[in-house]
Amino acid sequence: METLTLRRRIISLLRKTDHFLTAYQIIRILGIDIHERELYEHLKHVARTIWRTSGGRERLVMRLPRCRSCGFVFTDLEEPWRPSKCPRCGSRLIEPPAFAIIREK
């Protein structure tokens, strides 16, 4: 039986699900022992792989992190990461980014 690389397993999982998954959820479902930061690095490569192998028909999208206290959305993110506190209200109740693969029509 052929074993898939971690990035291929992430792609397979995201293609099978019909909703957004956080880094924590991806780690738990796949049963892997890595930190969220490391998974975010893999997701950057996954995004490029999906785009390239699908000929631009699929892409990895990120639901942006949001403060649960005041609703502030971290719109200026260039890379996936989990902010530690809200710049507006200082709350540490931050909804983490979540990821999904969407297919262009």
Count of structural domains within the chain: 1
pLDDT tens per residue across span 27-49: 999 999 999 999 999 999 999 99
Establish if 99 belongs to a structural domain: yes
CATH number, position 78: 1.10.10
Distance CA 28, CA 37 (A): 15
Establish if 74 belongs to a structural domain: yes
Reply yes or no on whether the pLDDT at 2 is more than 70.
no
**Range of 30's domain?**
6-103
Establish if 1 belongs to a structural domain: no
pLDDT at 1: 42
pLDDT tens per residue across span 47-95: 999 999 999 999 999 999 999 999 999 999 888 888 999 999 999 999 9
Distance CA 14, CA 52 (A): 16
